[in-house]
Structure 1
């Protein structure tokens, strides 16, 4: 796997609206016109860990959503524009096969299926190493005051 193109928490925070302790992305490995590969090393004290020290299902879904925000934020950054604020519009066909543990890195590949008028439809896959641990589709909506 290649080195990340961005792995600075300070730089990542410029690209997404979320703030600690609710940040679930810390790297961009690749970014293109319709795809991103993000990474997140799960801290031992993250607020979305369950009592077994695993990232919860809601944490995986939020990581997926923040990967979309990171895709959009980096796209705006490349155009010298501030990162937009967005919301989850819908979640479809989410399957979670395994919960990662603290100190493990998950990587999420998001492919943009459709993007129109501030609405972005994507498919995504979350990996722990080479193992697929979650997949699904999500629609996000950029807030009108962010455009």
Structure 2
């Protein structure tokens, strides 16, 4: 395993950078588009401006409002746990994955705390079928999860870190 030799705080800096990039992109969309507006960019991609009161794939979007507080509490709890995990020495790609998940989660929870809804603006489509719109926070979370899965499955169960 390749444990990080540099201060663990760099991973918190990466998480903060991801959250800030997510928030900056959402602010840019808010300034460029009106709610519900769709701007074709290519034959398979649009910029849109939608607000999602639910979670991934609009899960619980029509739940009546209580989901806002549920998702805020859940995201804050998970973010605190991730911040703790990132603080402890771990393999580089695992730390990278955790940092990206943390940054994406913080970016999205900021939206929920401010407006009660998450700004989504990336709209991919093909043959009239649209993937649910998402944002950079979602991208960071997805890449982070992929990195965690990759680090989990790339190591043999027989490979263990020597005890010191």
**Structure 1 or 2: more strand by fraction:** 1
TM-score, scaled to structure 1? 0.27
**Structure 1 or 2: more helix by fraction:** 2
TM-score, scaled to structure 2? 0.25
Q: Which structure is higher in RCO with an 8 Å CA cutoff and minimum separation 6?
A: 2
- Greater Rg by CA: 2
